[in-house]
Amino acid sequence: MLGIVTLLSACSAPAQVPYVEAIYDEETGRLRELAYDGNGNGRVDGWSYMDGTEVLRIELDRDENGLVERWEYYGPGQRIEKVGISRAANGKPDAWFYQGADGALVKLELAAGGDGRITRTEFYEEGQLARSTEDTNGDGAVDKWETFHDGAVTSVAFDLEKAGRPTQRLLYARDGSLLRVDTGVALEKAPF
Q: List Cβ neighbours of 77 (8 Å cut-off, separation of 6 or more).
A: none
Is-contact 37 47, C-beta < 8 A? no
Query: pLDDT band for position 125 (50/70/90)?
Result: very high
* Residue 117 confidence (pLDDT) above 80: yes
Confidence at residue 32, expressed as pLDDT on a 0 to 100 scale: 97
Distance (Å) of CA 169 to CA 54, 86, 136, 190: 47, 33, 15, 10
- What average pLDDT does range 38-57 have in this prediction? 95
Confidence at residue 181, expressed as pLDDT on a 0 to 100 scale: 92
Centre a 10 Å sphere on the Cβ of residue 93 and count the other Cβ atoms it contains. Answer: 21
Confidence at residue 113, expressed as pLDDT on a 0 to 100 scale: 75
Which SS3 state, helix, strand or coil, does residue 37 take? strand
Give the global pTM.
0.79
DSSP 11: H
Range in 22-36, 39-53, 62-76, 104-118 with the lowest mean pLDDT:
104-118
Measured distance CA(175)–CA(192) in Å, rounded: 22
pLDDT in tens, 62-110: 999 999 999 999 998 999 999 999 998 899 999 999 999 888 999 999 9
Nearest to 99 by CA among 82, 123, 115: 82
* Residue-level length of the chain: 192
pLDDT in tens, 154-192: 999 999 999 999 999 999 998 989 999 998 755 555 555
Sign of CA dihedral 187, 170, 175, 177: positive
What are the sequence ranges of the domains in the chain?
A: 94-192
Sign of CA dihedral 83, 89, 93, 95: negative
Cα 79 off chain centre by? 15
Q: List Cβ neighbours of 39 (8 Å cut-off, separation of 6 or more).
A: 16, 18, 45
